[in-house]
Every structure is written in structure tokens, then in C-alpha cells.
Structure 1
Amino acid sequence: MNTLRTSLMLLVAVPLVALAGDKSAAKTGKAAEADCHHPADAKATAAKAGEASASAPANDGWKLTRGEPLKGAKAVKLADVLAKPQAHEGKTVLVEGQVRKACERKGCWMELAVAGQDKGPGVRVTFKDYGFFVPLDSAGAQARVEGVVKVAELSEGHAKHYESEGAIVPRGTDGKPREVQLVATGVELRR
């Protein structure tokens, strides 16, 4: 009985220790939900915030998979998607790039850019059905992302929200915020 009790305590304690260093994991309820203005319920939001922060190993050389395993969609160069997004709109593709930014509040989006490109357009990656997140410290990681390409015009409110989190939101010649998005079903991150 003591062995069983000890094993159960370890199963609970290890994840809690991993979360202890991340203050963002302490956000729960409406406060966490309000950070990114998504319709997910508070309980799921709090669980996903903990999942995102607890999953990034501290050392280099890691590979982290989120969502579904990559299924082998047609590989397309990220630069090609950015240059001619309409040609890829609605199609499932596999792209590779560098994570330039990630949502600093929950990891509910990331901005993927051509490696070494600090300025200019990027692809905003969101996660299908708000079903998974990436670690808050994903910026700088190399990423392989599989999902559906979408060209979207953002509301001013969403554009300002993303900009407040450090994102670069491109604007058309008419001044309206537009961006290339990828709704990911699976993500692999490497450092």
C-alpha cells in the first residue's frame, strides 16, 4: 500500500514541480481566458496553459511535438506561401521556419518566419480547434508545421491585441490589417 501511495504522489508531484517555476501556469479561470479572447472554457484554458509551460525541456537539442503527428502533407517553402498566399489558400501544407514570436500569455499562437528574417511578413500559426498550445518560450526554435493556409483580414481590435503581444501585423495599402495564417493540426519544435 505504501508503494502505491508513493507512486501516486510522484505522479502528481513531478508535474507540479515542473509548473512551479512558471508564473503563467498559475493563471486560471476567467483571467486566463481573457488574455487571448478565445471562446474556450476556463477549465480547458487553465489546463492548456499548464501543458504549454510544462512541456519545454530546459536543455538544447529537444524535439517537442504538439497536436497530431505530422502526416506528410505537401512540403511548401515558407517564402513561397508568403509570396503567393492565395495560391495555397485552403490547402493543407507542411512548412518549415523559425518561430519569431509566440503568444507570451498562453502560447496560443506563434509567428513563423523564414530563418534569420527579423522583419517583414510571417505566418501566424494558430492551432486547430484551440486544441493545443506551444511553450511560451518558443521564439527562436525551428518549427515544422502542418495545417491549412488562410488569408485573413483582421479587425483592428485583433490586430492591436496581437501587436500588444509583440507580433508584427502587416497592413495592406489601404491600411487594413491582413495576414497569412496557418491553422495547424500538428507542430514539431526543435532547438
Structure 2
Amino acid sequence: MLFLLALACSTPAPVATEVAAAPEKVEPHEAHEGHEAALKVALGKAPDEALAVSIDDVIAKAAEFEGKVVVVKAQVAAVCQKKGCWHRLGTANPDVTVMVKDKEYEVFLPLDATGKSAIVSGIFHTETLGVDEAKHYAEDAGKDPATVTGPVTQFAIDVDGVKLM
């Protein structure tokens, strides 16, 4: 009996001679039924799409929304090209954008998010940037900071969540 046990332990295990097939390569593709959710990206706390209103509606009633939590839908107009730590939302007026920043420095957008639709939630407010801070943001956006010649007043959202569509 001990002989059989010793023989069984000293016999090499069979070696597989069949090679597994390489996995099929999956190409990037457009959204289709069953895959829509996989193509959306949520950053931070996922905003509730059902509550989203147009950014233009919020701007039209800026005083009413000042200091309040908003959930808005808009197109990303610009993204910080260093880290994606801030972005701007476009509005119906091409000269007006809304700065979106995270005070906790936790919500970062992909650097190529410009032009994508987004649902953004956070606290809406109006802020005035000093010249140095405004120049810093211009530089981060890849623009000439020399174009900033004075303080800049802008609409802003202190973001807690973004969903890219």
C-alpha cells in the first residue's frame, strides 16, 4: 500500500498539450441596446438625471439659484488640460460659460471631455476671480494668460458629481 502511495506521489502530473484560443478582440463601438449605460461615465456622486434642468434656465434665474444645489445638463465647453480638475459648461450665449470646480479636489474629467454632454450637480453661485487666479485658469485652458487684464466675474458650480453622456 505504501508502495502505491509513493508511486502515485512521484508520478508527474499530465501536461496539457492544448493551447487556449486567444480572446476575441473587442473593437470600440457606438451605444446600442444593452450597452448605453456602460458608455456613460460618472465621476463623484452620480447626479440624478431626472432632476436635470438646462444650464440656461439656471443662469436666467441666477439670483434665485444663488447658493443652492442644482442639477444641470449642458455641453462641456473646456477642460483643464493639466489634470481635468475643472471644466466649463457651455451656454446658449457663446460668451458665457459656467466654471465647474470641486473644492475637495476629487472630481476630475478626462482631458478629452470637451464637447461631451454632461449632467452636473453642485452648488451654484457667482464668483469674482482676481487677476492672478483668472490668468492661472487661462493658462490651464491652454490660452494666453496675457488676455486677462482685470478681475473676472463668472457663474460657477462647486461640483459634487458629474455624469458624462
Q: Does 1:147 align with 2:131?
A: no
Mapping of residues 80-91 of structure 1, within 5 Å: 80-91=57-68
Higher helix fraction: Structure 1 or Structure 2? 1
AA aligned to 2:42 is: T
Structure 1 residue 65: Cα displacement: 0.5
- Native 8 Å contact 1:102 1:109 kept in 2: yes
2:76 to 99, 102, 105: 99
Q: 5 Å matches for 1:109-188?
A: 109-114=86-91, 119-166=94-141, 176-188=151-163
Q: Deviation per CA, 1:36-56: give whole Å up to 9, x if none.
A: xxxxxxxxxxxxxxxxxxxxx
Distance 1:176 1:83, change over 3 A: farther
Q: Structure 1 residues 59 and 109 mapped into 2: Cα distance closer, same or farther (>3 Å)?
A: farther
TM (norm. structure 1) is 0.58
Q: TM-score, normalised by structure 2?
A: 0.67
Of structures 1 and 2, the larger Rg is shown by 2
Identity %: 35
State the number of aligned residues: 125
**1:60 Cα offset (Å):** 5.3
Q: Mind listing any 5+ residue stretches in structure 2 that lack a counterpart?
A: 1-27, 32-38, 144-149
Query: Distance in 1 between the 2:156 and 2:105 partners?
Result: 14
Local SS of the residue matching 2:162? strand
Residue 71 of structure 1 deviates from its aligned partner by 4.4
Name the Cα RMSD after superposition.
Answer: 2.4
- Residues 107, 160 of structure 2: 8 Å contact kept: no
Q: Which runs of 5+ in 1 are unaligned?
A: 1-57, 169-174
